[in-house]
Amino acid sequence: MKVLFMTSGVRTIHRPLELHIRQGLEALGVDLVVYDLAYHLYYQGSALARFKQEEEINLLNHGPLHRLAAAPVLYELHRLKPDLLLCFQGSFIPPEVPRAASDLGIPSALWSVDDPYEVDLTTQYAGAYDLVFTVEAAAVPFYREALGVEAHYLPLGCNPDFHRPTEVPERYRSDVCFVGSAFYNRLELVDQMADYLLESGLTIRILGQWWDQLKRYNRLHRFIDNAGVTPQEAIRYYCGARINLNLHRAPDATAYVSANLKGLQAKSPNNRTFEIAACGAFQLVEQPANLGQAFTVGEELDGFDGPAELVTKIEHYRRHDEQRRAMAERARERAAREHSYAARLRTVLETAAEYRAGRRAKSIAGGHRP
């Protein structure tokens, strides 16, 4: 199967995920061609900057620049005639690209990874695709009803060659660790737990941006590294922690833009769930509704609802090392078996093949050449 994979065009946060996807597709033995939109955006923008004023370049970045950077992929679709066009995230990819693929009889698929937090934005372009895969199960019926597209739930996953147990030096070790940005619901939880954290005697690590917004930051700051963490560093902190906290983001918690005005609820596990598990590290998860579909709660990881239950669970697992390690190992085995990017992408390829076969059958039934 020949796949043309078009990256999101975002050079920072999406780059590691795109590398995992590439490796997953390669592991499946597909004939893979990658169109790196970020590369083309960078060099097209640099070229235009030589002839335009900075103000004009900023305006171009909202439309024409992206069309210009994406234009060569239209030629690649004609030249390569892939069996699937797979686009990641999609907000920088002009809708003309998936439409052109569909016109050529090539199934186009979008993997939408910011739902439900940016579902209002995704709705503006997702309808151009034949298939939409979303990391949020609650978005599936919405896309089907609002856009009439074939939508499927497909969470992000783990790369067992990257997310794996690692021996770490002392500076990465802790009793309780959380890696992630300080969205408002996370700030509220940590503020409510401040007295316990200060008096517990535990080694606490909180790493990520915006934690200086805590109401009790002045007292908690010794636990906090208020800066972003690379994926490689995150693995070291996961592996060095006796207990990892996995705090999910509230449905209306936004980073830069409010784009879930429809109020879709976030009920699916985040990618941190699979990454921590693949590292063989133990986690307490702020329990989303669908967590039990991915892991067995109480056997492979554990969940909590609110600060009181979290304190109770921390106190239990800090005293039960063998139970904690056994649960983490079971989670690691399941993550490698069921939640790798290769497994996710096998689902994409099988779904695309079924879609293509169905379209071919309809074409033949209608008396047209496929």
370 is a domain residue: no
- Specify the pLDDT at position 363: 54
Q: Are residues 189 and 323 located together in one domain of the fold?
A: yes
163 is a domain residue: no
100 is a domain residue: yes
162 is a domain residue: no
- Specify the pLDDT at position 288: 80
Q: Measure the CA–CA gap between 280 and 278, rounded to whole angstroms.
A: 5
- Express each pLDDT in 129-186 by its tens digit: 999 999 999 999 999 999 999 999 999 999 999 999 999 999 999 999 999 999 999 9
Residue 37 pLDDT grade (very low, low, confident, very high; cuts 50, 70, 90):
confident
Q: Are residues 105 and 180 located together in one domain of the fold?
A: no
165 is a domain residue: no
Number of domains in the chain: 2
Least-confidence region, from 90-94, 102-106, 308-312: 90-94
Phi then psi dihedrals of residue 197, to 5 deg:
-60, -40
164 is a domain residue: no
Q: Are residues 332 and 353 located together in one domain of the fold?
A: no
| CA end-to-end distance (rounded Å), the chain | 17
Strands (E), the chain: 2-6, 31-35, 84-88, 108-112, 131-134, 150-153, 174-179, 204-207, 224-225, 241-246, 283-286, 302-304
Q: Are residues 240 and 308 located together in one domain of the fold?
A: yes
Q: Are residues 78 and 226 located together in one domain of the fold?
A: no
Q: Are residues 25 and 149 located together in one domain of the fold?
A: yes
56 is a domain residue: yes
- The three-state secondary structure class of 150 is strand
Q: Which domain holds residue 101?
A: 2-157+340-365
Q: Are residues 316 and 174 located together in one domain of the fold?
A: yes
Q: Would you say 243 and 176 are in contact if contact means Cβ atoms under 8 Å apart?
A: yes
Tell me the pTM.
0.91
- Express each pLDDT in 69-88 by its tens digit: 778 888 899 999 999 999 99
Q: Are residues 189 and 300 located together in one domain of the fold?
A: yes
Q: Which of 307, 313, 250, 248 is nearest to 282 (CA)?
A: 313
- Using a 10 angstrom Cβ sphere, with 0-12 exposed, 13-18 middle and 19 or more buried, the burial of residue 138 is buried
- Specify the pLDDT at position 260: 80
Q: Are residues 30 and 119 located together in one domain of the fold?
A: yes
Q: Measure the CA–CA gap between 327 and 353, rounded to whole angstroms.
A: 37
Q: Are residues 208 and 316 located together in one domain of the fold?
A: yes
H-type alpha helices, 81-230:
96-103, 119-126, 139-147, 184-192, 194-199, 217-220
Residue 149 neighbours by CB under 8 Å, 6+ apart: 126, 127, 129, 130, 131, 132, 143
CATH code assigned at 107: 3.40.50.2000
Q: Are residues 128 and 213 located together in one domain of the fold?
A: no
Q: Are residues 151 and 45 located together in one domain of the fold?
A: yes
